[in-house]
Structure 1
Amino acid sequence: MLVSLSGVTFGYDAELIFDGLDFQINAKERLGVVGPNGHGKSTLLRLIAGLESIEGGEMSIRRGTDIGYLKQSQELPEEVAVHDLLLATFPEAMNVKRKLDAIHVRMEQGDGSEETLAEFGDLQHRFEELDGYALEARVDALAAEVGFSAEDLKRPAGSLSGGERTRFELARVLLRQPDLLILDEPTNHLDLVQTERLERRLAEYPNAFLVVSHDRAFLRATCQGIVEVERKKATRYKGGYDAWRTQREERLRRSLDEFVRQEEKVEKTEDFIRRNIAGQKTKQAQARRKMLEKLERVDRPEDVWEAAGHLGMQFDAGDHSGGREAIAARGLCVGYDDKEPLIRDFDWILHRGDRVGIVGPNGSGKTSLLRVLLGRQKPVGGHAELGYQVGVGYLDQKLKGTLDPSRSLVEEVRSLRPDLTIDQAREALSRYRFFGDVVFQAVGSLSGGERCRLSLLKVSLKPHNLLAFDEPTNHLDIPAVEVLEKALKDYPGTLLIVSHDRAFLDAVVDKMVWVQDGVVQVVEGNYTTARRKLWGSEGKAVAK
């Protein structure tokens, strides 16, 4: 046992997050934590990492257990190089190295005393024990895996962006190799190549890890057990992600059967009591009444995943399907005027009815390509144009320019559809899980997931024969992503989607645009098929 929680209660203000929580993780276990947004996944990780204090119950940690937690957006020393900060993950080794360097200088200056040589030998032996001579190679290799180039490692840490800081923290915690590695949405800010590298590293990780993720492909690739957080509890399941889905459905079925059997028994017993309480079988009726009073009633099982997936999401392509060529690009160069183009000489036609996914490494120009194709950004060369009567429903990755933070949710809906009454706007909002007085709150008060749902609602309010979405699954929990998948499968128009969600791409597209090193390749098939065609089953490049 590494960490054990027993009967734990915890909450924020008046909201109780956990009540009677029991959970344990053992050495070398590989567990994924799942659950709809707002049910306490991240809170569970923070409790285990010691960043929150339990309010009731007991929590025990095996003596000497090193727990590593992926921190988000930590403040970093402004002027220290990224490489030096990563090496600082090994303070003892770096301290020994400084001493060795100092003695080496003394020896070069002529200090060859037996005492100095003995001290140098002892330090050198300790440095070898700490694997010090391999540390720089380890740091460089892991930094490259999460997307840092040799030039990036020379940069001052203060220059890192928010996403780069998250990747830096991921590298730092992986270098430590703690007894228990805790990762909260580790694939955020990673591109697909970096995500698959992380999967391979976790497959070889020698100790236990606990990971929260909405990336179903990532959970399938890394986890051997699933912890479902719901209704203020945590339930353990053996096996990976798909085994959990099967076991979960079976558990719910059994719980519902138990509830129904008890309800039928109670109904028959109450009927017997009513018919016999004043008759010849009064004593039997009284005995059964006492039995009912002592009966521990089974609650009707609540499927929080089904509830979280209650989204009336659908998209209308309208009466006109648009021209045969939805988008035509000729000699397209994408980038910025003062820099080398990200993409050069791209010729392509998006045909009516195509369902296309766009993927590539971070910084390769996926979002810029999408915006240029839609006419939302100027190309640095060539041209792109929309086809005849093509109407675009666009979802921005950062949700900028589509939502006014000062408006209420009702006002935001009616800004696009002024013909809707307040009640009609509220009804539309309820289909996207906005209820009660929430609809009168300011848009600026919403979480990322809520803003994404509101943006998707706005796209659905008018017909569009081309949907162009940039990272639509960002901020959405798994139930919402699966509803979006179904809505897009049912959508009869043209799709153009930038995404790093492999399971999502496999479900909704049948053609891939792969952007890398200034080159764009168009490959038939969903993500898994296209990847196999381009990179082979072993992940090695077979095409440029």
Structure 2
Amino acid sequence: MIRASGLTVRRGSKVLLDQTEFVVHPGERVGFVGKNGAGKSTLFALLQHEIEADAGTLEVPQGWRMASVKQEIAASNDSAREFVIDGDTHLRALQHERRELSEALENEPERSEALGARIAELESELIEAGAWTSASRAEQLLAGLGFSPNQWSHPVDSFSGGWRMRLALARALMAPSELLLLDEPTNHLDLDAMLWLERWLGSYPGTVLLISHDTEFLDAVAQTILHFDQGKLNRYKGGYQDFVIQRSERLRQTKIAWERQTRETARLQGFIDRFKAKASKAKQAQSRVKALARMELLAPIHAESGIDIRIPSPEEMPDPLLVLDDMQAGYTNDQGVKIPILQNVRLMVRGGDRIGILGVNGAGKSTLVKTLAGELEVQAGSRNASRGLEVGYFAQHQLDMLDLESSPLQHLARIAPQTREQELRNYLGGFGFGGDRVMDKVAPMSGGEKARLALSLIVWQKPNLLLLDEPSNHLDVETREALTTALAEFGGSMLLVSHDRHLLRTTVDRFWIVADGSVQEFDGDLEDYRDWLAEHQANAKKQETSSNATIGAELTSADRKQQKRDEAQERQRTSALKKPIEAKLVKIEKELESIQNQLKTLDMVIADPDLYTDSRRQERVQTLAQHGELTKRHDELEEIWLELQSELESIGMNTNS
């Protein structure tokens, strides 16, 4: 096991870890949570011997191989596939030695006996190391993380920064290891790649240490939470939701910030009731109510965090705000040729709309948002904006536009020169820049702090339409929760692209889906989207199979007879492989149906406003706890179901090939 004893780490005058003790058991999947700067990444650096502790010990079992994601990728002309295989350093060392010995055998025939013996040993070691399956293993990782087959042979240098980080993640997963360190692995992933990574980690046999601000990802992956709190690491059993419940109860028992908690709970209850009355779609309303009800548990944590984001309400709200009529959107290349990404888009953004934008990576979500924001010109059709439209557009590139030598107060004073300094300070304090922090330079700030500042500058101007492209990237858990609350309360319209499922569930009422060059209304919630995605991918495979069949029609008569015999044998073999998996699927689907019926009953109880009165507090706690346990079991069964479906798919793919 991993064991820390009396572990102390300082950074300058700041004590990150103070006589900390904790253990991590073999095979455990542990999530680390805490504010930015608490010491999470420092702990990973200690484990990798990049820094030394000031006192105490941190022990990792001898012989454990450690894999982690490199944050910096050196320039390389190697293909993406070869770059990922390079993650298996043991395999590469064996291959290198095999090549050298082959060359020596040609040049030194007098040593043929000794060299031949070692080559024979190497061949056995290469088989054991999986040399002959390494390419297919790398391709499976690349496919899971969103790389199309035609990208596998592209050089590393041809990919953008976000895609390079995906390559670095695939390379880390390729490495044989007993200990896997993942620091914000979902920052550059879309929802589909994230779901794939959850399944992959679920089947990983080693120990996983995970830093993530994505609470649903933590819930899906982590079995234990270690929370950084005032220089100590406190252990909580279960995923992030379990941590929230246990920590909230601990804070309640110690009566930390009791008055602030009461005010926060009342404020949250107000918009829970408001949105329950307002929600228009049954399925999305249920999802929304559950997500908002969870926020009552977070009230004491909000009170302690010191971050209280408030987004000003817009001064006017035209309706509709934007009308898209046969719109074509895309980019113009260096030769001036228009490259369309989306075509024939006919949609409307109305006053008060709260829309989540779904779609696989590369489908055109960011293209759509940039076009709506006016950063990209419409290529054809029209984007008709109402008079009085005020857009607030947030994307990661806005962080690069901040003046690194200026302070948060200077940034805000430039756009509000007539406002009193104290009012600016009060406003920035809600975004976590309190006291003297408003005078700190931007340059040394973390990505999360820069994102907070950029967002504060955008919403100061009271937009009536917020366009948000991955706003929670780099934010710690407390800031994400504060942003979620603020967006849920926001009185204007909002379009949101995010891989943070909790954020989507809590803040949007409906979805648009971007796929196959178009944008359509999506009548469903995130669970429906997962099903849609599976069906969409299956249809794509069918089309590919149909195309292959057309090519096969040119076979000779003799070839066809042999092919039919081979296909019959393959069908028998495939059927034998599929039967036990299909039996398991039937059993799981029955249990899922039972749980879904129980959850529907609990949803009706949770949706009852009377449940949130003081007299039913004990019933509320029990109901939410039971709902949490059933939801957790439901998610576990879904993961198993997805894995079994993947096995069936794999059998089908092997049959087709």
Q: What band does the TM-score fall into relative to the shorter chain?
A: 0.7 to 0.9
Where in structure 2 are the equivalents of 1:255-294 lying within 5 Å?
Answer: 255-256=254-255
SS at structure 1 position matched to 2:252: helix
Question: What is the CA deviation profile of residues 304-324 of structure 1, one whole-angstrom value per residue up to 9, with x for unaligned ones?
Answer: 763325314132122x22023
Over 3 Å counting, the alpha-carbon distance change for 1:93 and 1:310 in structure 2 is closer
Question: What is the CA deviation profile of residues 82-119 of structure 1, one whole-angstrom value per residue up to 9, with x for unaligned ones?
Answer: 322332333444455567678889999xx9x9988866
Over 3 Å counting, the alpha-carbon distance change for 1:160 and 1:27 in structure 2 is same
SS at structure 2 position matched to 1:221: helix
| Conserved? CA contact 2:329–2:371, under 8 Å | no
Question: Counterpart in 2 of 1:342?
Answer: 341
Over 3 Å counting, the alpha-carbon distance change for 1:120 and 1:418 in structure 2 is closer
| Conserved? CA contact 1:68–1:173, under 8 Å | yes
Match of 1:324 among 320, 326, 341: 320
Question: What is the CA deviation profile of residues 124-182 of structure 1, one whole-angstrom value per residue up to 9, with x for unaligned ones?
Answer: 33332222221111111112222333443333334443323322221111111311101
| Conserved? CA contact 2:324–2:345, under 8 Å | no
Question: What is the CA deviation profile of residues 318-341 of structure 1, one whole-angstrom value per residue up to 9, with x for unaligned ones?
Answer: 2x2202353334232323343632
| Conserved? CA contact 2:326–2:344, under 8 Å | yes
Question: Counterpart in 2 of 1:24?
Answer: 23
| Conserved? CA contact 2:399–2:454, under 8 Å | no
Question: How far is 1:205 from its partner?
Answer: 0.3
What is the TM-score when the length of structure 1 is the normalising length?
0.82
| Conserved? CA contact 1:177–1:207, under 8 Å | no
| Conserved? CA contact 1:316–1:460, under 8 Å | no
Matched, 1:221 2:217: no
Matched, 1:89 2:87: yes
Matched, 1:165 2:164: yes
Structure 1: distance between partners of 2:48 and 2:529: 39
Question: How far is 1:398 from its partner?
Answer: 2.0
Question: How far is 1:520 from its partner?
Answer: 2.4
Amino acid at match of 1:313: R
| Conserved? CA contact 1:326–1:388, under 8 Å | no
Question: Counterpart in 2 of 1:79?
Answer: 77
Over 3 Å counting, the alpha-carbon distance change for 1:97 and 1:481 in structure 2 is closer
Where in structure 2 are the equivalents of 1:472-487 lying within 5 Å?
Answer: 472-487=471-486
SS at structure 2 position matched to 1:310: coil
Where in structure 2 are the equivalents of 1:399-410 lying within 5 Å?
Answer: 399=398, 403-410=402-409
Question: What is the CA deviation profile of residues 407-430 of structure 1, one whole-angstrom value per residue up to 9, with x for unaligned ones?
Answer: 432232122222212222222222
Question: Counterpart in 2 of 1:202?
Answer: 201
Structure 1: distance between partners of 2:520 and 2:348: 13
After alignment, is 412-421 or 145-154 more displaced? 145-154
| Conserved? CA contact 1:4–1:25, under 8 Å | yes
| Conserved? CA contact 1:395–1:456, under 8 Å | yes
Amino acid at match of 2:351: R
RMSD between superposed Cα atoms in Å: 3.1
Where in structure 2 are the equivalents of 1:117-266 lying within 5 Å?
Answer: 121-256=120-255
Structure 2: distance between partners of 1:102 and 1:38: 47
Match of 1:311 among 308, 312, 328: 308
Question: What is the CA deviation profile of residues 212-234 of structure 1, one whole-angstrom value per residue up to 9, with x for unaligned ones?
Answer: 00111111111111111111010
Structure 1: distance between partners of 2:59 and 2:104: 49
Over 3 Å counting, the alpha-carbon distance change for 1:103 and 1:6 in structure 2 is closer
Question: How far is 1:187 from its partner?
Answer: 0.7
| Conserved? CA contact 2:30–2:208, under 8 Å | yes
Amino acid at match of 1:328: L
Gaps of 5+ in 1: 260-302
Question: What is the CA deviation profile of residues 459-501 of structure 1, one whole-angstrom value per residue up to 9, with x for unaligned ones?
Answer: 3323322222222112221222222222222222211112221
Aligned residues: 494
Select the structure of larger CA radius of gyration. Answer: 1
Structure 1: distance between partners of 2:8 and 2:98: 51
Matched, 1:351 2:350: yes
Gaps of 5+ in 2: 259-299, 544-657
Over 3 Å counting, the alpha-carbon distance change for 1:119 and 1:35 in structure 2 is closer
Question: How far is 1:199 from its partner?
Answer: 0.6
After alignment, is 118-127 or 404-413 more displaced? 118-127
Over 3 Å counting, the alpha-carbon distance change for 1:4 and 1:353 in structure 2 is same
Over 3 Å counting, the alpha-carbon distance change for 1:441 and 1:87 in structure 2 is closer
Where in structure 2 are the equivalents of 1:449-468 lying within 5 Å?
Answer: 449-468=448-467
Over 3 Å counting, the alpha-carbon distance change for 1:14 and 1:115 in structure 2 is closer
Question: Counterpart in 2 of 1:288?
Answer: none
Question: Counterpart in 1 of 2:375?
Answer: 376
Question: Counterpart in 2 of 1:287?
Answer: none
Structure 1: distance between partners of 2:194 and 2:429: 35
| Conserved? CA contact 1:49–1:68, under 8 Å | no
Amino acid at match of 2:314: A
Question: What is the CA deviation profile of residues 266-298 of structure 1, one whole-angstrom value per residue up to 9, with x for unaligned ones?
Answer: xxxxxxxxxxxxxxxxxxxxxxxxxxxxxxxxx
Structure 2: distance between partners of 1:188 and 1:46: 19
SS at structure 1 position matched to 2:396: coil
Structure 1: distance between partners of 2:101 and 2:195: 43
Question: How far is 1:397 from its partner?
Answer: 2.6
| Conserved? CA contact 1:32–1:212, under 8 Å | yes
Question: Counterpart in 2 of 1:423?
Answer: 422
SS at structure 1 position matched to 2:511: strand
Matched, 1:442 2:441: yes
Over 3 Å counting, the alpha-carbon distance change for 1:97 and 1:42 in structure 2 is closer
| Conserved? CA contact 1:524–1:530, under 8 Å | no
Amino acid at match of 1:331: M
Question: How far is 1:447 from its partner?
Answer: 2.7
Question: What is the CA deviation profile of residues 56-97 of structure 1, one whole-angstrom value per residue up to 9, with x for unaligned ones?
Answer: 012222121212222211325x33333223323334444555
Question: Counterpart in 1 of 2:51?
Answer: 52
After alignment, is 113-122 or 355-364 more displaced? 113-122
Structure 2: distance between partners of 1:400 and 1:225: 33
Question: Counterpart in 2 of 1:360?
Answer: 359
Structure 2: distance between partners of 1:256 and 1:192: 38
SS at structure 1 position matched to 2:423: helix
Higher fraction of helix: 2
| Conserved? CA contact 1:81–1:155, under 8 Å | yes
| Conserved? CA contact 1:514–1:522, under 8 Å | yes
What is the TM-score when the length of structure 2 is the normalising length?
0.69
Amino acid at match of 2:317: S
Structure 2: distance between partners of 1:214 and 1:409: 23
Question: How far is 1:42 from its partner?
Answer: 1.4
Amino acid at match of 1:306: A
Question: Counterpart in 2 of 1:518?
Answer: 517
| Conserved? CA contact 2:321–2:350, under 8 Å | yes
Question: Counterpart in 1 of 2:262?
Answer: none
Amino acid at match of 1:316: S
Structure 2: distance between partners of 1:96 and 1:443: 47
| Conserved? CA contact 2:248–2:301, under 8 Å | no
SS at structure 2 position matched to 1:16: strand
Question: How far is 1:401 from its partner?
Answer: 7.8
